[in-house]
Structure 1
Amino acid sequence: MIHHAGLIATYMAGAWRGVLIEGVSGCGKSDLALRMLDHGFRLVADDRVLAWNCEGVLFGRAPDALANLIEVRGLGICAEPALRFCRIVLAARCEPVERLPDPAFNEYAGLSIPLISIAPLEASAPAKLRRALQHLGRGAEGAYLGDLAAGVSPRPGGDSR
């Protein structure tokens, strides 16, 4: 299945973990991907992503014609070393963001993947995306249990004491 999206990945917990970046044309998907590359992520695909389900795991890659390429507005199409494919563990939709959203998921190739909304052009977008990947990309239950093991007690009410 082909998605109009970008795919970036980082090496986490012994494997490449990918974030599918979705949104309407011109919303800032490639801009966010480019900034994530400057934060240590690797490009997998820009503009189009081929996604497939393999034994209950979602994977993605660039179509052959777009492999190792990224669009940089104002410069054009630029070569960028890319991973051939990676596991997709999180989707980020470029759109207005709620302050405290309810957990959301989207279905790809018959698999449910955590979904966040992100304002791609905000200066904090790369930091938010990394944190979402660290928390949601390993599964909400795993993140919660990992926080408990680290001695972090979740507090109801967000930043209130």
Structure 2
Amino acid sequence: ILAMSPARAIDRQQLEQSAEQVIALIEAQQGDGIDPQRIFLAGFSQGGAVVLHTAFLRWQGALGGVLALSTYAPSFADELQLSDTQRAIPVYCLHGKQDGVVLPGMGRSAHDWLQHRGVSVAWQEYPMAHEVLPEEIRDIGTWLAARL
């Protein structure tokens, strides 16, 4: 993050480098025989921005899903279109109602962008700031178990 304004100015080169690292991890798992439907990307805050960018702008294959915790999608743009494979990736967005670092509206915008493009995406808010609660971890476990 280069600036902390609500929209966040990001270093695009670093975002791409991070996405390349995630793609290398996905490819390594596939190389070890892991079914792509059993590979999930998860990220909190800036890590969430990386996994959303990777799953929906860089990666062209199947995935089991994406967990986006207290995050936003700085690289989503109105003109971007998703492939059928990308639209098939389920997403679970979780966010704190009192998050002052990544405002809930920023996370909700990422959710709405995906929903508008036909992605199966769920939104869950919690009474927390920029953090993770045990209740949230339990909900993540339930979501993952339903897909595995």
TM-score normalised over the length of structure 1: 0.29
**Structure with more relative contact order (C-alpha pairs < 8 Å, separation 6 or more):** 1
TM-score, normalisation: structure 2: 0.31
Q: Which has the larger radius of gyration?
A: 1
Structure with the bigger percentage of strand: 1
Q: Give the structure with the higher percent helix.
A: 2
